[in-house]
Amino acid sequence: MQKIPKNVLPLLLLATTFIVGCAQQLVATPEDQADGLIPRETGLDSVSAAYAFDMSGAKVYLEPVGVAYSKRFPTASSPLRAKDYEFRDKDLVKLQEVMGETLSERFLAPRQSQLVTDKAEADYVMQLDLSRFALGAPLDPQPWLWRVYTDQSAYGTLSGELTDLEGNPVMRFSDRRDIGENFGSLGPGGRFERFTSVTFWRDMKIDLRRAFASLDDSLQ
């Protein structure tokens, strides 16, 4: 095996450090560049925010949460249809409450900020969305299904955009989420759990707290 000359080794180490640094460099998307948002180090898939972003003591209005469902293809043998796996009006109301509660707890409170119910009072407007969303099972119990077991409560992509009073984006984030403590039943220690509306909303709260806590860490 040929030895590397001592005078070459420092140059190789410098080149390696430069390559690793370039690989780790955050790259803004064209949309973020157009809006002047800078990518941030994050545990989420992506977070970008305005330079010197600071919303301490701000009032935030939360728009109605948007939900876009993954396409389902029901089988002829199943009594359930794609519509059974979607939120009903009462579930959307509860989702809005849970989103607001967890956002306030893990992201706004550390900044002494708060949600307001009147958009006219707000300093910022937040839009949250769940896209490619799929429930593990129908939330409403079916008379012919006594018990349903799933390996997760739901999955989807959580995204958000915060805009100022002029409608200019000041923060944007996105993250794919596997909702439910028991996700990965085929892996070590994984398992199926009985699915009910109680377990779903519990898992949803836990997951949203984690997501908004990660968002908070990204913008420290």
Mean pLDDT of all residues belonging to the chain: 84
Q: How confident is the model at residue 64 (pLDDT cuts 50, 70, 90)?
A: very high
Rounded CA separation 138/122 (Å): 36
77 vs 210 pLDDT, higher one = 210
Backbone angles phi, psi at 158, to 5 degrees: -95, 125
185 vs 5 pLDDT, higher one = 5
Using alpha carbons, select from 163, 157, 98, 93 the residue that is nearest to residue 130. Answer: 157
What pLDDT score does 69 carry? 95
Residue spans of the domains in the chain: they are 43-218
Bridge partners for 62 per DSSP:
126
Rounded CA separation 102/24 (Å): 31
Helix intervals (H) in the chain:
9-24, 30-35, 89-103, 197-218
Q: Tell me the per-residue pLDDT of 124-139, one tens digit each, with 9 for 90 and over.
A: 999 999 999 998 888 8
- Beta strand 59-62 with 114-115 is parallel
Which token pair is 3? 């030895």
Write the CATH number of the domain with boundaries 43-218.
3.30.160
